[in-house]
Structure 1
């Protein structure tokens, strides 16, 4: 994975998982309800697009969520597409009640 040396930041106040590359912050906007994380929107600034940052951000977020025993509800189209390309992460999907 590219960017493995850059730490993921859980900005709890902003409800964002953030990855800062060369001083530019990309983020996933989320809401948490209990042990479920609703992943709402992924944003990479235009000048940083095409460098694999979004994929690294999603992967780091998934690792973080798995380490914290949290389940995901993907609402972001990028994350839905990522899950189709990487079905091994479907283990994190929340079971619908």
Structure 2
């Protein structure tokens, strides 16, 4: 499966975006504090690494934050690096 074909589901009550690939869950976890989205964890099973799945999930989460008017605090190191490498998301930084 390619990142473009991912079926990403938002579980707002759990603070999670997730996609199932080959029977395995990939995820981005967050908490909302006021209007700031603290992205705390990005997880992709080892056997699925290197396919761009984490990047696709993070991009989806950041786009959601933008449409909701949230700022983002990248607590997760992966998200910190992703946002630094993709300047189009810098305006969301809390």
Instruction: Please state which band the TM-score falls in when normalised by the shorter chain.
Output: 0.7 to 0.9
Q: Which residue of 2 aligns with 1:73?
A: 73
Deviates more, 1:63-72 or 1:14-23: 14-23
Once superposed, which parts of structure 1, at least 4 consecutive aligned residues long, lie more than 6 Å away?
none
Instruction: Look up the match of 1:11.
Output: 11
Q: CA RMSD in A?
A: 1.5
Find the aligned partners of 1:18 and 1:70 in 2 and give their Cα distance. Answer: 19
Superposition deviation, residue 7 in structure 1: 3.4
Map Cα deviations across residues 44-69 of structure 1 (whole Å, 9 max, x no partner): 01111111101111111111111111
Kept after mapping to 2: 8 A contact 1:8/1:61:
no
Deviates more, 1:10-19 or 1:32-41: 10-19
The alignment partner of 1:4 has SS state of: helix
Unaligned 5+ runs, structure 2:
none
Alignment of 1:1-97 (within 5 A): 2-94=2-94
SS at match of 1:55: helix
Q: CA deviation at 1:76?
A: 0.5
Is this contact kept in 1: 2:38–2:74, CA < 8 A?
yes
